[in-house]
Chains A and B, each alone.
Chain A
């Protein structure tokens, strides 16, 4: 096994026993990138010099003291909408093409403190809007399992980099499925944490009431290690919360586990092979002693419509900051007056999908339409959240597919926004309800990975990890 193929747990063990150094590990990762990324195109920018220098620093520290954490000296790739001080951060948009982050996001400060080695920034759909990376202003990332197919999105670069062993793990962000769907398409593990569990400070805001940063890893155990390192209340993000201690310490036992299967998620539109693999995974847990129960989430069918009002509304407010004045692409020199700076910079700086969503959100928030669209959607959101609350009185976790099909081909959905939006049909309700969910591989269809989604109640990450570990160990 080559070093770049190691999991976090394996690499940490090797580093601790001094069987390998962080510099060697980091070098091997960059060798793989040079070889493989010409085809996969997972990275927007690399920081080989910075990475090797932090690796060296960690190796020297380790020579003197033994007490280094489980992430020390291990390479990580960061989605390009998360700020890393001194590195370019474009969100795959022309409007931020030359933007250099002036400070670290809280998750980055935490990773750096843990000794992580940041190797570069990964490709994504522009401003995290999309399900395929085809909306990147620069290039599309390819699925390492089949280069004719998309890696999913919007964290497609992060998922592809992990799957192609071009990094040991990565961070992504998830507003409506952007960690889980690419994780499922690329056969890796991805977690969308409870809303507020991970600080959003330094994450470029897309839809603030839905956005969460989360890990993309090779194994469930690695996912837990990274989540443990990045979660927690942060005074720089007033929506962040601490996971409750009593929940954190609950002992997990598979024979006490009650699994809910929502009828609405195994209905028309779901690929039959995906359906079969997801049900087989649930069966495995049943054989291990868990109880499986069919449940109802009756408002599921409204989740996508609800999401496509709330998300664009928040997008239109958040992306107002890209005005050609503070940073990024600007037509200041061409423009005659202030309005022309705005109109020109935003017209030519944003790609098609951000413009579509900003327009839509501006409309749904505009005078005379606010009540009919935005307020209506917020009320439906209450009903969707209550669906989950009720369900979690009867079951501990809910299991569903991540996406209705495995990875699709380039060009298949890009010309029809609504068709593209449907790839998020099983993931958006989770963000609306603010609950955590993990995507993990549960088999393949014609060589393409399929993901299982494990959903927990708010703050239910320990339950999700317990369940996922049990399944992973028995696969």
Chain B
């Protein structure tokens, strides 16, 4: 049985009791549906992560225009819910 409370915590969601019940029901139904894949034998099949076949695309060690644009930096910070000077403000991380 899916431990909705634990999953919600991993996903960083608050959860009410009513929501817990609802998720339990809905997620179980979806998981029952996707269990269909177990009908297929995939023993010697390689997994596909994406389809273009490109592997390890490296860029030059340089900043792009977006990082250099002062206005963009300012506009990014404008969207911050809490900030101080040029910094994002967060609650204490280390006790």
Contacts and interface: CB of A to CB of B under 8 A. Distances in A.
Contacts of A342: 12
A46 interface: no
B92 A238 contact: no
Interface string A5-31: 000000000000000000000000000
A381 B82 CA distance: 42
A418 B81 contact: no
A45 B95 CA distance: 43
A302 B45 CA distance: 15
A52 to B, nearest CB: 23
Interface in A215-255: 235-236, 238-239, 241
**Interface SS of chain A: helix, strand, loop or mixed?**
helix
B81 A327 contact: yes
A338 B92 contact: yes
A240 to B, nearest CB: 9
B52 A325 contact: no
Contacts of B31: 360, 363
Interface in B26-77: 26-27, 29-31, 33-40, 42, 45-52, 54, 57, 59, 64, 66, 69, 72, 75-76
Contact of A103 (B4, B48, B59, B72): B72
**Interface SS of chain B: helix, strand, loop or mixed?**
loop
A360 B79 contact: no
A383 B40 contact: yes
B69 to A, nearest CB: 8
A355 B75 CA distance: 28
Contact of A327 (B12, B49, B69, B79): B79
A284 interface: no
B12 A418 contact: no
A307 to B, nearest CB: 9
A320 B52 CA distance: 25
Contact of A347 (B13, B35, B92): B13
Interface size class of B (residues with CB under 8 A): 35 or more
B10 A417 contact: no
A308 B27 contact: no
A95 to B, nearest CB: 11
Nearest to A237: B57
Contacts of B54: 196, 238-239, 241
A139 interface: no
Given A381-B48, A382-B45, A305 B82 contact: no
B64 A236 contact: yes
A430 to B, nearest CB: 11
A382 B39 CA distance: 15
Interface string A344-375: 10111010000110111011001000000101
A410 interface: no
A379 B81 contact: no
B33 to A, nearest CB: 6
Contacts of B12: 320, 323, 339, 342-343, 346
A262 interface: no
B23 A377 contact: no
A102 B79 CA distance: 9
A196 B52 contact: yes
A434 interface: yes
Contact of A302 (B7, B40, B50): B40
B10 A366 contact: yes
Interface stretch (A62-70, A71-79, A329-337): A329-337
B23 A309 contact: no
A102 B76 contact: yes
Contacts of A417: 26, 29-30
A342 B38 CA distance: 35
Contacts of B79: 99-100, 102, 326-328
3 smallest A-B Cβ distances: which pairs? A434-B51, A347-B14, A330-B81
Interface of A: 99-100, 102-103, 195-196, 208-209, 235-236, 238-239, 241, 299, 301-302, 305-306, 308-309, 316, 320, 323-330, 332-333, 335-344, 346-348, 350, 355-356, 358-360, 362-363, 366, 373, 375-383, 385, 417-418, 433-434, 458
Interface of B: 2, 4, 7-8, 10-15, 23, 26-27, 29-31, 33-40, 42, 45-52, 54, 57, 59, 64, 66, 69, 72, 75-76, 78-82, 88-93
Given A99-B79, A417-B30, 9 more contacts: A235-B59, A302-B36, A309-B37, A346-B12, A359-B4, A363-B27, A375-B47, A378-B48, A379-B46
